[in-house]
Amino acid sequence: MTAPPPDATDLAALVRSGAASPVELVDDAIARIEHLDPTINAVIHERFEAARAEAAGPIPDGPFRGVPFLVKDLGCEIADEPNAMGNRALAAADARATHDSYLYEAIRDAGLVTLGRTNTPELGGTITTEPVAFGPSRNPWNPDHSTGGSSGGSAAAVAAGMVPMAHAGDGGGSIRVPASECGLVGLKPSRGRISHGPTLGESWAGFTTDGVVSRSVRDTATMLDAISGRRVGDPYAASPPLRPFAAEVGTDPGRLRIGLAPDHQGVTTDPECVVAVERAGALLAELGHEVEIGQPAAFSDEEFSQHFVTIVAVATAIDFDTIGATIGRPVEENDVEPSNWVMGSLGRAVSAADYVHSINWVHAWSRRLQAWWEDFDVLVSPVIAVPPPPIGWLSDPELGTERLTSILQFTAQFNSSGQPAVSLPLHWSSNGLPIGVQFAGPIDDEALLIRLASQLESAAPWADRVPAIHR
């Protein structure tokens, strides 16, 4: 493949016009997975025959009717199919979902045909996809480098051209980091935009949400329309958009006041990531926006990390309970990876009072953070502080956690505040690896980010870039 593959919108148009059938699209995607996945290791569960049967039968007449799709093996259940969450104990027990999640119902109603499940780090606990259970996913731009995580398998599959779009989830950067490292669009929606039902009301105290990684802003916007909406019993509800998100694509965002944060207090940011933000700022200024160096004071609050970790640790301990209930015994140390054992053990030691204190602290902090958007429209920053690292750099048993903490300083804030944020593929490193730039908007205003992202996509197109795996 020397030319970029079509996006999901174009494939859906082929089906609508009769130029291609869903069966043809599915067979083509399966062939690409079979050819590329031995190198990339993005797809850990294949449902090819089920997908072929679905493609041949009646398909819901949604915006992506007949388009091939992949689902991350975390946060989106398909009844009677594997649901390992990157964990070796669940994989060994052949753990399977008991029901379809509301999210998967929406994916199916959009007309998408799911071909399988994608690789993810165990319990989504880090930003590289190298689980012991399934092995590392590899970056199509350079297989020696990480795909990011926790939606790294999905990002690798889309970047490699296996499918045009795939499910992703984000609790601390897990849509945006893989999008950044694989050269994709990755939008983390606002809290309450996507339902976690029917099993969960929230995950990680409301930090996590779902979305997709894609090659185009229009695919991301249209998919957000398809999967959005409050369901009965959901504890949060994002304000509904004034019109479909897809209608924002190509709409002039107007002149925006934009704060530029190329670095983070107390963090050493790789010069190439700084350059990515600075060039984005220059492009924004060329487009007529008011750009100035600035960020919320709360963005660099040193106390934030400890409360975020406390909440995630408790969530990990709860994951241990879920695993134990599935495998029929309490989780032991050799059932999970060392970093998660440490995190879950920390969570088990947190008192109920301390947990509530951390939640209350984050809520108060979020108000301070969001106040900055009363004077600004968008904050622009790196996604992470380094380009895509080599495989093994973040999974190192001695240094991995320290490295993770040092580079993941720009994304988790918006999981805690519930604000939307998107990574756009606006820069490539000197050795040809993608470096995304993050744009964070006001709460519930994905529409603003989509308008701006569409403007940037037109001004600095990325669709013609093809990963090294195809050269």
- Residue 214 annotated to the active site: no
Rounded to whole angstroms, how far apart are CA atoms 70 and 44?
11
- Selecting among 72, 228, 358, 429, the annotated active-site residue is 72
Rounded to whole angstroms, how far apart are CA atoms 434 and 465?
10
Rounded to whole angstroms, how far apart are CA atoms 332 and 471?
45
Rounded to whole angstroms, how far apart are CA atoms 310 and 58?
47
Rounded to whole angstroms, how far apart are CA atoms 118 and 172?
19
- Selecting among 174, 366, 381, 395, the annotated active-site residue is 174
What tokens does 196 get? 């976690």
- Residue 174 annotated to the active site: yes
Cα-based angle 307, 312, 317 (whole degrees, multiple of 5): 130
Closest by Cα among 143, 141, 78, 91 to 120: 91
Rounded to whole angstroms, how far apart are CA atoms 64 and 16?
9
C-alpha torsion sign, points 188, 192, 196, 200: positive
The DSSP line for 205-249 is GGT-EEEEEESSHHHHHHHHHHH----TT-S--PPPPSS-GGGGT
Chain-centroid distance, C-alpha 318? 22
- Selecting among 101, 137, 146, 150, the annotated active-site residue is 150
Rounded to whole angstroms, how far apart are CA atoms 417 and 371?
11
- Residue 101 annotated to the active site: no
10 Å CB burial of residue 76 (0-12, 13-18, 19+) is: buried
Q: Which residues are catalytic?
A: 72, 150, 174
